[in-house]
Structure 1
């Protein structure tokens, strides 16, 4: 039996979620990429303590949705897997393009790109591939894509890069965090603020609030 895997292209539709309003009073626009098993509308809860008039939050939604164990009643989503990663990454990048086009963010706003857990990989890939000028890049409790190099981020000007992780993170042991720390310093020429906190694999709301 000859098995052949073929490829097609088609138009699809996806959602994304926002919090607060993009008005003249808004100072910061956040583009926040959730981790695995999240939905964008629930990920927004971690940003509700930010000043509502000054902060507008955009949360894109990972396309691949599935039922979560153990009862399979709740739905989560995933950005990428090891299966067909390059093509799936292109799909995510084009989806992000569409979100940015739809939002039409004014140039006078501070753009903050934040990735949490699995969201770190897609956030970094998007900044690199589109040469997205952002005021701050926040990498929280996630891994840096292996293919990214220092040259991919040389275009950034005056961008504050922050890495945040929990010292008791059940997915990032000490050896892994040492590796990720070396990688982030390599990519951004040591111009990185690294903030460890006493905690597990969680979204640290207190540290998010302190970013602005």
Structure 2
């Protein structure tokens, strides 16, 4: 058996909050977690809006019917960024897709994708996704500063990312780690392990905990999304 690859065209969607027709001086790319959709996830950012800020929420390309205990949860649909199957191709596809979304959103808002202030935010599975985009996108690499703020919520940086190699841009990105004190995925132990990994690589970060589980906290989200300097 021979397995081959072919590039396919797929229609994707993203949600936008803020002045889509400009003027815009700050764009946030926010990647949702496993089993979520962009329209649901985007609602959490309404309290973080301000004049000149555009929040862009891409939706992962692989949709599925959500199940719990082997049974479908009604008609609920979620999306996933990737699996371990053919992972290198999936990572490359996702990086190109996020580039396309970012460029399209900037074009509509008359903002320069190479110069506009950029914030990255990821929740759960979306943390690895947004970090990989910032790390591997040629477009983002061409910017003077890849990101002015990077918020990783309820998740971690990709385990296979060489933090020593990527420390310069991570240190310029004002990295924030956020997790609930009862998060069943980003447990206190896992957060501590991630903090040690960052410290060993010489990457500065700020870590914040709140009372709760694996979820967003809208007021805290607005706080960590203060204007990028």
**Greater shift in the superposed pair: 74-83 or 156-165:** 156-165
Contact 1:144 1:184 in 2 (8 A): no
Say yes or no: does 1:170 pair with 2:184. Answer: yes
Contact 1:30 1:111 in 2 (8 A): yes
Contact 1:184 1:190 in 2 (8 A): yes
Structure 1 residue aligned with 2:154: 141
Contact 1:39 1:77 in 2 (8 A): yes
Contact 1:40 1:60 in 2 (8 A): yes
Structure 2 residue aligned with 1:194: 207
Provide the rounded CA distance (Å) in 1 between the counterparts of 2:49 and 2:5: 46
Instruction: Evaluate the alpha carbon distance shift between residue 91 and residue 72 of structure 1 in structure 2; reply closer, same or farther with a 3 A threshold.
Output: farther
Structure 2 residue aligned with 1:209: 222
Please identify which structure carries the higher helix content. Answer: 2
Q: Which of the residues 161, 174, 191 maps onto 2:175?
A: 161
Q: Which of the residues 24, 30, 33 maps onto 2:31?
A: 33
Instruction: Evaluate the alpha carbon distance shift between residue 7 and residue 27 of structure 1 in structure 2; reply closer, same or farther with a 3 A threshold.
Output: closer
Q: Measure how far apart 1:206 and its partner are.
A: 1.4
Provide the rounded CA distance (Å) in 1 between the counterparts of 2:156 and 2:46: 26
Provide the rounded CA distance (Å) in 2 between the counterparts of 1:66 and 1:167: 30
Structure 2 residue aligned with 1:74: 76
Instruction: Give TM-score scaled by structure 2 length.
Output: 0.83
**Greater shift in the superposed pair: 135-144 or 155-164:** 155-164
Structure 1 residue aligned with 2:94: 92
Q: Which of the residues 15, 19, 28 maps onto 1:17?
A: 15
Contact 2:198 2:204 in 1 (8 A): no
Say yes or no: does 1:5 pair with 2:37. Answer: no
Contact 2:17 2:49 in 1 (8 A): no
Runs (5+) with no aligned partner, structure 1: none
Instruction: Evaluate the alpha carbon distance shift between residue 11 and residue 51 of structure 1 in structure 2; reply closer, same or farther with a 3 A threshold.
Output: closer
Provide the rounded CA distance (Å) in 2 between the counterparts of 1:71 and 1:184: 38
Provide the rounded CA distance (Å) in 2 between the counterparts of 1:198 and 1:161: 21
2:120 is paired with a residue whose SS is strand
Say yes or no: does 1:151 pair with 2:165. Answer: yes
Contact 1:144 1:183 in 2 (8 A): no
Instruction: Give TM-score scaled by structure 1 length.
Output: 0.89
The Cα RMSD (Å) is 2.0
Q: Measure how far apart 1:27 and its partner are.
A: 4.2
**Greater shift in the superposed pair: 90-99 or 124-133:** 124-133
Runs (5+) with no aligned partner, structure 2: none
Structure 1 residue aligned with 2:85: 83
